[in-house]
Structure 1
Amino acid sequence: MTKAIRIGLLGTGPWATRTHAPALAAHPDVDFSGVWGRRPDAAAGIAAEFGTRAYEDVDALFAASDAVALALPPDVQAPLAARAAAAGCHLLLDKPVATSVAGAREVALAAEKAGVASVVFCTLRFAAATAPWIEEQAAAGGWYLARAHWLGALFSPGSASAYAASPWRREKGALWDVGPHVLSVLLPVLGDVTEVVAAAGPDDTRQLALRHAGGAAASAVLSLSAPVAAASAGITLHGDRGQVDMPRWDDAVGSFAAAVDALLEAARTGVPHGCDAWFGLRMTEILAEAEGRPAA
């Protein structure tokens, strides 16, 4: 691509306002083409703040864009993403792509049929500290065991998180909100999941036991209801080289900008990114199995 790509934003919540919009507005290779949301007043506010246009008609935004970034609840995202792909827009998706296998498959098939690129914004796959670490561990191999925990405090007394007001997070819990973060690391490093078992803990806490195609075992404890003082996240690998801990990460805006770069590269070259809509579908299949629902 020799000129700025026009990218529109779908969504007006805190994730869109704090991460997507600032990154799109600042990216040197992006023309931030507009904002659409289910709350037109919020879309207008984002558009005014970041120097773009608010759209009331989502199809008009698709027509004015080469790609769209989505910051919507997963089961609102999926049908709109498929619709955007059919309109010829490349897709920068949020995780999870959908909470139903059918919804996630619809997105992947729509992108394939339209010949558009797709990237799922799993933060750890694009953060400056963790992205190269994941690539290094995947290349090294020889892993025997992985231990992951992601203990958020969104729903705990004393939490001031803006994301606690999210209805879909309240309904679906940690399995679907932070489970994709963990899977986005474990799958490229340990291989596909061949078996998953889930056990319930307090509140929305879930503990997963995973078997991977390469033979390694993994465990993951996920929660959005941990005490504020206990909130933390990390992944540790054990193998031929001993024990290796994933580095800490931050800078969501910078990570999203890197995801934009990945989408631009996939669109330019036609080479699918490793964290594309098909990868998003696979994560949804695993999480649906962990939830005890058939993969239909």
Structure 2
Amino acid sequence: MRIGLLGTGPWAGFVHAPALAAHPDVTFAGLWGRRPEAAAELAAVHGVPAYPTVDALLADVDAVAVALPPDVQAEYAALAARAGKHLLLDKPVAATVDAARAVEDAAAATGVASVVFFTTRFGPTQEAWITEQAAAGGWFTAHCHWIGSVFTTDSPFAASPWRQQKGALWDVGPHALSVLLPVLGEVDQLTAAPGPADTTHLVLRHRGGASSTVTLSLTAPPAASANGAAVELRGTTGVTTLPDRDTEATTAFAHAIDALLAAAATGTPHACDVAFGRQVVEVLAAAEEQLLRGGR
């Protein structure tokens, strides 16, 4: 499979491009970026062409990996799907529910495979735990926190405009939901409340009857962001916690590439396809709407 990359930011440079270049079962066909000079620089690192337009890249690939802000990603993902290209997307798939549905509809219309890269879901240890807990069932409640200090450190993502605008809800919220939804079920009721800066608290009611609480932040003091991600489940089988991540992001992304190859070859949708990505966006958008209304 020939895969082209859309995007040239830090995540594209640290994760997508190296994983595509190293994967033995795909050809890293080249890339396109909104900043031609950045595209040329990243392309030179990996010895691939920098395409002048998205259309030129789409004409030369079987699939696209997208490392763009969610509002931009949705536009180009729908374009790629309509062109019959398989999709390897980042989270969240879009910044609005309508945009997420447009990508989902485009993928369904042409029958292309899709995978959304939720980092935790593609760590083998974490994925095995999620699968085990989903099969066990009987969960009463869960607590999750995803807490970082992105804007008060030398993080390469500190200057990200969309993270500054959308905050923790949209950046790390998808990670939390990618664990909770497959174990507890879809969300049918939620309450969102603001905390300090971009901190957000969610109370979720799941269709299976369980409830969960979620705390998200990108603006915690650095000392408060230690052990920043945790999920605890309590139910009929006892108490269990999500194992710490033991897989580098590039390795996890390689597993996502494997998942796309399998979905394209078999026609069997992956659990983290664009339909699941749309479900996540629905929860984020509902929470955001509540926050904009002052939590009502």
TM range (shorter): over 0.9
Aligned equivalent of 2:159: 165
Task: Note if 1:251 corresponds to 2:245.
Answer: no
CA–CA distance in structure 1, aligned partners of residues 264 and 112 of structure 2: 7
Deviation at 1:51, TM superposition (A): 1.8
CA–CA distance in structure 1, aligned partners of residues 23 and 223 of structure 2: 36
Deviation at 1:209, TM superposition (A): 0.1
CA–CA distance in structure 2, aligned partners of residues 51 and 125 of structure 1: 30
1:2-41 CA-partner distances (Å, limit 9, x unpaired):
xxx1000000001000000000000000100011000111
CA–CA distance in structure 1, aligned partners of residues 97 and 185 of structure 2: 20
CA–CA distance in structure 2, aligned partners of residues 191 and 105 of structure 1: 20
Aligned equivalent of 2:294: none
Aligned equivalent of 1:269: 266
Aligned equivalent of 2:181: 187
**2:238 maps to which of 239, 242, 246:** 242
CA–CA distance in structure 1, aligned partners of residues 128 and 104 of structure 2: 26
Aligned equivalent of 1:286: 283
Over the residues paired in the alignment, what is the CA RMSD in angstroms? 0.8
Identity of aligned residues (%): 61
- 1:34-183 pair list within 5 angstroms: 34-156=30-152, 159-183=153-177
CA–CA distance in structure 2, aligned partners of residues 56 and 149 of structure 1: 41
Deviation at 1:280, TM superposition (A): 0.7
SS at 1:204's partner residue? coil
SS at 1:186's partner residue? helix
Task: Note if 1:197 corresponds to 2:191.
Answer: yes
CA–CA distance in structure 2, aligned partners of residues 167 and 129 of structure 1: 32
CA–CA distance in structure 1, aligned partners of residues 56 and 190 of structure 2: 42
Q: Which moved more, 1:234-243 or 1:217-226?
A: 234-243
Q: Structure 1: 5+ residue runs without aligned partners? A: none
| TM-score of the aligned structures, taking structure 1 as reference length | 0.96
Aligned equivalent of 1:9: 5
CA–CA distance in structure 2, aligned partners of residues 72 and 213 of structure 1: 32
1:84-108 CA-partner distances (Å, limit 9, x unpaired):
0111110000100111011100000
Deviation at 1:111, TM superposition (A): 0.4
SS at 1:171's partner residue? helix
CA–CA distance in structure 2, aligned partners of residues 55 and 133 of structure 1: 40
1:193-220 CA-partner distances (Å, limit 9, x unpaired):
0101100000000000000011101000
Deviation at 1:241, TM superposition (A): 1.8
Deviation at 1:284, TM superposition (A): 0.6
Deviation at 1:129, TM superposition (A): 2.2
SS at 1:53's partner residue? coil
Q: Structure 2: 5+ residue runs without aligned partners? A: 291-296
CA–CA distance in structure 1, aligned partners of residues 206 and 269 of structure 2: 23
CA–CA distance in structure 1, aligned partners of residues 12 and 127 of structure 2: 22
Task: Note if 1:206 corresponds to 2:215.
Answer: no
CA–CA distance in structure 1, aligned partners of residues 100 and 85 of structure 2: 17
Task: Give the 4+ runs in structure 1 shifted more than 4 A.
Answer: none
Deviation at 1:128, TM superposition (A): 2.2
Aligned equivalent of 1:228: 222
Deviation at 1:114, TM superposition (A): 1.1
Deviation at 1:228, TM superposition (A): 0.7
